[in-house]
């Protein structure tokens, strides 16, 4: 199965703290680490683990962090196709004692631009990019997208097979101009809705450590399930297990689901 992601990467510095700092306070981190992440990277890595391979079409800074991102993503098993230019966007993420993450973004998002050579792919997940990149992705057998990119989805006028968003994000609202066969809106531990019908979440297999990457891993696994021919309930179960697994690790990659069974 040939899969690809069109999306962004940012260099993320993580700090584990007892609680997110209130105004005027000082908190001491018990642990820090950094790695390339962002929606494009996290979705691509989860697809690669479940489908055996995934290509990532992205834009990276023409700086030390951009080139290091390419090396680190390749080491994670992602086939990276990157246009280098500009400065890498960075992010700072606090992970509190309950595992919740709070993100501060620094700099402009670098996004892939089309047209892209995506004809003949079995599944493509559009995380971010310009209108032409999205239209290129429509040549895939299955096309998924995130509701975060609502304006681009509306401007491209393409039919989606899968649209994934969050019920809890004010920036993710359905637009009548966006058409999708399956619309999934997640609701954390409460599960979510699929085409308006509720579905249940899956309990994490271990203690919650870090919520970063849960939604993106859920979305990636859902596309893999549908692309391999699973019925929608089975694909949702795979996605729920992927979302539950990732939150038990440190960062988005250490505990992502590795088996599609």
What single DSSP character describes residue 23? T
Spell out the residues 6+ positions from residue 162 whose beta carbon is closer than 8 angstroms to its own.
142, 143, 144, 145, 180, 181, 182, 184, 222, 223, 226
Kindly write down the DSSP assignment for every residue of 69-80, as one continuous string. Answer: HHHHHHHTT-EE
Instruction: Parse the chain into domains and list their residue ranges.
Output: 3-246
Q: Give phi and psi for 243, each to the nearest 5.
A: -65, -40
* Contact assessment for residue 61 and residue 238, using Cβ atoms and an 8 Å cutoff: no
- Residue 177 has a pLDDT of 81
Copy the structure tokens of residue 207.
Answer: 């203690």
pLDDT for 260 equals 79
* Nearest CA among 114, 142, 131, 103 for reference residue 220: 142
Per-residue pLDDT of the chain (261 residues; tens, 9 = 90+): 999 999 999 999 999 999 999 999 999 999 999 999 999 999 999 999 999 999 999 999 999 999 999 999 999 999 999 999 999 999 999 999 999 999 999 999 999 999 999 999 999 999 999 999 999 999 999 999 999 999 999 999 999 999 999 988 777 777 778 999 999 999 988 999 999 999 999 999 999 999 999 999 999 999 999 999 999 999 999 999 999 999 999 999 999 999 877
Look up tokens 């992705």; give the residue: 137
| CATH for 3-246 (3.90.1150.10, 3.90.550.10, 3.40.1190.20, 3.40.50.720) | 3.40.1190.20
pLDDT in tens, 228-255: 999 999 999 999 999 999 999 999 999 9
The residue with tokens 């919740």 is: 100
Phi, psi angle pair for 45, to nearest 5°: -65, -40
């Amino acid at each position: 199965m040939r899969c690809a992601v069109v999306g962004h990467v940012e260099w993320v510095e993580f700090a584990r703290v007892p609680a997110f700092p209130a105004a005027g306070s000082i908190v001491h981190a018990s642990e820090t680490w950094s790695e390339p992440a962002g929606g494009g990277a996290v979705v691509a890595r989860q697809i690669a683990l479940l489908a055996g391979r995934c290509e990532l079409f992205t834009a990276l800074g023409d700086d030390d962090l951009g080139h290091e991102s390419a090396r680190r993503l390749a080491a994670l098993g992602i086939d990276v196709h990157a246009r280098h230019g500009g400065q890498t966007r960075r992010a700072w993420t606090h992970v509190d004692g309950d595992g919740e993450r709070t993100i501060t973004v620094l700099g402009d998002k670098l996004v892939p631009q089309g047209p892209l050579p995506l004809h003949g792919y079995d599944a493509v997940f559009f995380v971010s990019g310009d209108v032409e990149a999205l239209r290129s992705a429509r040549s895939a057998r299955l096309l998924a997208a995130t509701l975060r990119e609502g304006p681009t989805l509306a401007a491209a006028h393409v039919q989606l097979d899968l649209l994934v968003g969050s019920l809890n994000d004010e920036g993710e609202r359905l637009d009548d101009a966006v058409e999708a066969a399956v619309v999934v809106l997640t609701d954390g531990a409460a599960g979510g809705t699929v085409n308006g019908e509720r579905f249940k979440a899956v309990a994490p297999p271990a203690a919650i450590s870090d919520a970063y990457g849960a939604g993106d891993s859920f979305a990636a696994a859902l596309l893999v399930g549908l692309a391999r021919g699973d019925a929608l309930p089975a694909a949702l179960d795979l996605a729920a297990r992927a979302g539950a697994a990732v939150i038990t690790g440190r960062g988005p990659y250490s505990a992502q689901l590795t088996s599609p069974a």
